[in-house]
Amino acid sequence: MHRILIVEDNKALAKLIAMKMSNELDFEIDIAYSLQEAKLFIKKYTYFLALLDLNLPDAPNGEVVEYALERELPSIILSAIVDKELRKKLIQKDIIDYIKKDGISSIEYIISTIKRLYDNQKHKVLIVDDSLIFRNQMQKMIKNMFFQVITVAHGEEALAMLQANPDIKIVLVDYFMPVMDGLELTKEIRKQYSKNDLSIITISSNQDEEVTALFLKNGANDYIYKPFSKEEFICRLNNTIEALENIEKITNNANRDFLTGVYNRRYFYANTQEYFQEAKQSGQNFGVAMIDIDNFKKINDTYGHETGDKAIVNLSQILTTSVDAKDIVARFGGEEFCIILKDMSSHAIKEKLELIRKKVENSFIKDLDKQISFTVSIGVVTSAEDSLEETINTADMFLYNAKNNGRNQIVSD
């Protein structure tokens, strides 16, 4: 479990912050009331970050900040000191943020910042700039926001890096670069990635409003003028990734089943039609299987709908962990699932489904002190019909036959 260190000599405030954090964050919280105590904690543990007061009994002039930075400990300053020059000086260091003590609102802001930093760890940012000095400065700043950072010198390198890392979420683009400038790169990126998938932020010393508009019209999400405020840049970058996350959540809510998290029926049809036609034309082998929990009504009637839901979730987990990433698992409704197994021989498909059948048969769900097992019946088509709908209907018919033949078995073409 990650740990957070609070260094604050006001014991009441430190305990309040720790309590608020414990309620909202899954972190271990340690409290040090002096620099000496902080040093002991830092030697003993590795911390996700530290929350530092500038004025401590044994370090009244912010010495704790220098100590934390020397040990590369990510730090947020929480201080009652409102000296603008001091704040400006500290912001330029490798701290995450400088927050004024302002009651509950400042604590809530700290907690939201920590949540943001924690989520940033899973996102990649690509910096594209021909200046090595600027790339290094940006890399340091963005790593301090807990992002994964990749840097390249020009547009062609950027396109190659995107090819190798399709999960990059934000691209920071300079305008003036050799080989391919920032505008050309923006146009090329937008041929492959929509604004819902990836954000482009242009960073340039060119302050021509027409150039700004040109970038925005051609797919840039934002345009930041050099030189820029570190705080402003951090806010813009965090806002950008939050917007992408919100789009992803909305998309997932539309495409995924609320109970299991696997794709829903609508998504399955929308994203399988094109593959189905292409696979048929190219002669690629694939299979479509319908899977249904046996005697599901009996599970609900005997143990209740909550246990029935557990069985559905358990089956969905077995399915998703048993197939390849390229395959699609969807819940069609109730206890019924449909999967498409791509680029696989008929024999391999049947072997895979038999493995799934056995996994389900040997698994169980817990209901209070009982272990409840269940089985599934499967109908699979490995020789596709004329359309996806007909193929699914045939698989459904085979599923019906599996049920009538005694359940807990596979019927195929």
pLDDT band at 407 (very low <50, low <70, confident <90, very high): very high
pLDDT band at 208 (very low <50, low <70, confident <90, very high): very high
Strand pairing class (370-372; 365-367): antiparallel
- Contact (Cβ atoms closer than 8 angstroms) between residue 150 and residue 168: yes
Query: For residue 179, what pLDDT is reported?
Result: 85
Query: For residue 177, what pLDDT is reported?
Result: 92
CATH of domain 263-412: 3.30.70.270
pLDDT, one tens digit per residue, over 113-162 is 999 999 999 999 999 999 999 999 999 999 999 999 999 999 999 999 99
Across the range 66-87, mean pLDDT stands at 94
Selected catalytic residue, list 8, 157, 335, 336 = 335
C-alpha 90/C-alpha 84 separation (Å) is 10
Across the range 352-374, mean pLDDT stands at 93
Across the range 72-92, mean pLDDT stands at 92
Whether 368 has a pLDDT exceeding 90, the answer reads no
Arithmetic mean of pLDDT over the chain:
95
pLDDT, one tens digit per residue, over 97-118 is 999 998 899 999 999 999 999 9
Percent of the chain residues topping a pLDDT of 90: 95
With DSSP H G I counted as helix, E B as strand and the rest as coil, what are the percentages for the chain, rounded to 5? 50, 20, 30
Q: What is the chain's Cα-based Rg?
A: 28
In 3D, which of 124, 133, 203 has the Cα closest to residue 164? 124
- CATH of 3-118, picked from 3.40.50.150, 3.40.50.300, 3.40.50.2300, 3.40.50.970, is 3.40.50.2300
C-beta atoms surrounding 172 within 10 Å: 25
Query: For residue 82, what pLDDT is reported?
Result: 83
Query: For residue 333, what pLDDT is reported?
Result: 92
The 10 Å CB-count burial string (b at 16+, else e) for 215-242 is beeebbbbbbeeeeebeebbeebbebbe
Across the range 348-376, mean pLDDT stands at 94
Active-site residue, 231 included: no
The 10 Å CB-count burial string (b at 16+, else e) for 15-26 is eebbebbeeebe
Query: For residue 1, what pLDDT is reported?
Result: 81
Across the range 237-246, mean pLDDT stands at 97
Across the range 281-286, mean pLDDT stands at 94
CATH of domain 121-254: 3.40.50.2300
Query: For residue 147, what pLDDT is reported?
Result: 98
- Contact (Cβ atoms closer than 8 angstroms) between residue 35 and residue 82: no
Across the range 373-402, mean pLDDT stands at 96
- In the chain, where does the domain assigned CATH 3.40.50.2300 lie? 3-118, 121-254
Query: For residue 101, what pLDDT is reported?
Result: 93
219 Ramachandran zone, left/alpha/beta (phi>0; psi -120 to 50): left
